[in-house]
Amino acid sequence: MTFDYDLFVIGGGSGGVRAARVASGEYGAKVGLAEESRMGGTCVIRGCVPKKLMVFASGFPAMVEEAQAYGWKIKAGAFDWRAFRTHLEAELDRLEGAYRNTLKTAGVIVHDDRATVVDPHRVRLASGQEVTARHILVATGGRPFVPEFPGSDLAVTSNEMFHLDALPKRALVVGGGYIASEFACILNGLGVKVSQYYRGAQILRGFDDEARGHVANAMQAQGIAIHCGTDVMRLEKTATGIRAVATDGSEAEYDLVLYATGRRPNTEGLGLEGIGITLGRSGEIPVDRFSQTAVPSVFAVGDVTGRINLTPVAIREGHAFADTVFGGKPTAFDHKLVASAIFTQPEMGSVGLSEEAAREQEPIEVYSTAFRPMKTAFAGKPDRVLMKLIVSQATRKVLGCHIVAPEAGEMIQLAAIAIGMGATKEQFDATCAVHPTMAEELVTMRKPVRTA
């Protein structure tokens, strides 16, 4: 059978674009790609990139305060949200253009249209056009999810946070994951009075307990009111804002309520069930280690698979797919030891096992230290950073590293290389410290604080 394309990709986010570019530009496949929204997907348009730029913006008041302690006669003026938003939108336009140019240079044919799967080798565009492909790759990502409850339509999601007409004076963030916690810190840094509700016992579930406790304490010290064991019962529109009635019996009024309680894969209406693909409980697409579905010609990468919902993971999955199917090099991305950073204030970087997960696996040693960093200590601030290593007693390998500190994301990227190579605690110890730095503590902790 002759096909219109060797590969047709549904979704123009990071994973889909990488797969399309490599398949076409490096391996010579004829590739088509359909994107119903803006090219770049969640990360570029409504996720990592605009969020990180907002993180940068929210950090300047603290920098000005520190600068005063260092002798600078300056003070922070008013934050111009509209000016920032205009610049932000221009930057996203530039990045979207770069994504489109990358695809064009690689020879990928782009369809600005919604696409659905008709059969294992046929895709229908919203325009009515149908195309055939030897292989179909679904890379449609995910979306924020707001549960239904009285007044839920009054809440916004992370998608809307980058396009607000004005900053609120009072904001409620609902959720305890990294997206909720990051936006709580961003808004707080921009001068918004922030409360955060989370129904669990502590925010950042799934991360190392000591590290997430450290982050929570720092957030509260900066003025964020974290209410754990609390959820919203209903939201009510008032003449002056939105009243939130909580499960703990409290009521408070806000100008904005942000829900960040989870995301769902974008699989609704794609036609996958009709060709024999049974979706998971949350709508995710089950795949094997090579990202292949139960239908041999159909593959899926990125958040839509519900594996690890991180942009670099989607990119690696997309590249591995192209290497496997079009490069003749069977490649399965290893989802173990994926480092991550949470851009709260302070940041948290993590790679490998938490203390809790490691001690269930084997006997371990825990090396941990918390201290005031030189920069903010000089400015008279009470900030403390955390450096933590989890070590196997049997093999001496470092099983996990957790950092809570400014620029923790930058540090954990480098630590991940050593841990991924199987570095032992003694090899960390043999590494000469870079002084004076925060990260030198990773190679100077000689005695475990506890064993388990």
- What is the per-residue pLDDT across 220-258, written as a single tens digit (0 to 9) for each? 999 999 999 999 999 999 999 999 999 999 999 999 999
> Based on the domain organization, do 136 and 191 belong to the same domain?
no
Which residue in the block uniquely carries the two structure tokens 């932000």? 88
CA 102 to centroid of chain Cα atoms? 23
- Distant-in-sequence contacts of 76-85, Cβ < 8 A, 24+ apart: 79/167, 79/190, 79/191, 81/164, 81/166, 81/167, 81/190, 82/166, 84/57, 85/162, 85/163, 85/164
Of 142, 210, 119, 215, the residue nearest 176 (C-alpha): 215
Residue 320 to residue 223: CA distance in whole angstroms: 44
Q: Domain of 129: which CATH number?
A: 3.50.50.60
Task: From 207, 235, 261, give the residue that closes a domain.
Answer: 261
Of 17, 25, 19, 9, the residue nearest 135 (C-alpha): 9
What angle do helix axes 48-69 and 81-106 make, rounded to 10 degrees? 140
Task: From 274, 292, 325, give the residue that closes a domain.
Answer: 325
Of 259, 260, 257, 225, the residue nearest 238 (C-alpha): 257
Domain that holds residue 174: 152-261
What's the burial of 283, exposed, middle or buried (CB within 10 Å: 0-12/13-18/19+)? middle
Q: pLDDT at position 1, please?
A: 81
Task: For 417, list phi and psi in degrees, rounded to 5.
Answer: -65, -50
> Based on the domain organization, do 56 and 202 belong to the same domain?
no
Told to judge if 121 belongs to the known catalytic residues of this protein, a careful annotator would answer no
> Based on the domain organization, do 113 and 169 belong to the same domain?
no
Please report whether residue 338 resides in a domain: no
135, 214, 319, 435: which is the annotated catalytic residue? Answer: 435
Please report whether residue 216 resides in a domain: yes
Residue 435 · residue 346 · CB < 8 Å: no
> Based on the domain organization, do 129 and 16 belong to the same domain?
yes
Residues of the chain with pLDDT under 70: none
Q: Determine which helix (DSSP H) or strand (DSSP E) holds 136, and give its type and residue range.
A: strand 130-138
Please report whether residue 332 resides in a domain: no
Residue 358 · residue 441 · CB < 8 Å: no
Please report whether residue 50 resides in a domain: yes
> Based on the domain organization, do 386 and 404 belong to the same domain?
yes
Please report whether residue 23 resides in a domain: yes
> Based on the domain organization, do 271 and 122 belong to the same domain?
yes
Task: From 241, 261, 281, give the residue that closes a domain.
Answer: 261
Please report whether residue 334 resides in a domain: no
> Based on the domain organization, do 298 and 385 belong to the same domain?
no
> Based on the domain organization, do 241 and 279 belong to the same domain?
no
> Based on the domain organization, do 363 and 428 belong to the same domain?
yes
> Based on the domain organization, do 273 and 250 belong to the same domain?
no
- Overall number of domains in the chain: 3
Total count of residues recorded for the chain: 452
Residue-wise pLDDT for 378-409, tens only, equals 999 999 999 999 999 999 999 999 999 999 99
